[in-house]
Amino acid sequence: MSGSTVASVALGEGPGAARLSLTLQTTAQGPSFWSDGGLECNLLGSYEPYLAAPNFTAISPLDVEVRPWVAWYTSADGWRWLGTVGANASQWYRWTATQSGIEQWKTPAGAVNRWTWSPISVRPGNATYAIGVFEIVYGTTRYTWGYSPSNLAGSGLTTYCGYP
């Protein structure tokens, strides 16, 4: 469903507050995951996932800023977030999307050697479920986030990795 509405926001309090008018717009989107990259569940061994960034392409070169996360769930602790700099903290990475993919990942031979985050270790015996998540800013105007598909080492794609 697509549509728009007018909204207003007040910045500050009292008589000196600034009031701004905004137009909020929604647009229909496709699935909220990418077709490549994601959380590889057990490729490096049991309980050792790694996160691979999706490859981004653009008709004209475009800055893409990406902040990766791994979210995990246990019934004892609920949802937790792990970023590249620790619990609840991740850093932004700036790459350049081109027609053939991220410029910084290209090898001299032209192959793509994408960004990965490893090692990640999961403690056995906690019934842990994990999912890869990416926050992305395309250029300077479009912010989005979504979960990435997980690969169960040859058994097909799923949305999460499960560790008994």
Per-residue pLDDT for 81 more than 60? yes
- Is residue 23 included in any domain, yes or no? no
What local confidence, expressed as pLDDT, does residue 30 receive? 45
Is 2 within the bounds of a domain?
Answer: no
pLDDT band at residue 117, thresholds of 50, 70 and 90? very high
Does 1 score more than 50 pLDDT? no
Q: What proportion of the chain, given as a percentage, has pLDDT over 70?
A: 85
Contact 135, 66 (CB under 8 A): yes
Does residue 39 form part of some domain?
yes
Note whether residue 77 is domain-resident: yes
Weakest mean pLDDT among 16-20, 62-66, 136-140, 152-156: 152-156
Domain assignment present for 22: no
Which residues fall within 8 angstroms of residue 108, CB to CB, at 6 or more apart? none
Q: Is residue 4 in some structural domain?
A: no
pLDDT at 31: 44
Q: Distances in Å between the alpha carbon of 83 and those of 60, 69, 86, 99?
A: 30, 5, 5, 29
Comparing 23-32, 57-66, 89-98, the range with the smallest average pLDDT is: 23-32
In the prediction, which pLDDT does 143 show? 82
Q: How many domains does the chain have?
A: 1
What 3-state DSSP class applies to 146?
A: strand
Residue 108 inside a domain? The answer is yes
CATH number, domain of 83, equals 2.60.40
Q: Per-residue pLDDT tens for 40-49?
A: 988 788 899 9
Domain that residue 87 falls in? 30-163
- Whether the per-residue pLDDT at 28 is higher than 70: the answer is no
* 123-153 pLDDT tens trace: 999 999 999 999 998 887 788 888 787 876 5
Tokens 């050697």 correspond to 113
Residue-level pLDDT at 29: 47
Considering the domain boundaries, does residue 8 fall inside one?
no
Give residue 32's pLDDT.
47
Q: Which two tokens stand for residue 5?
A: 């509405």
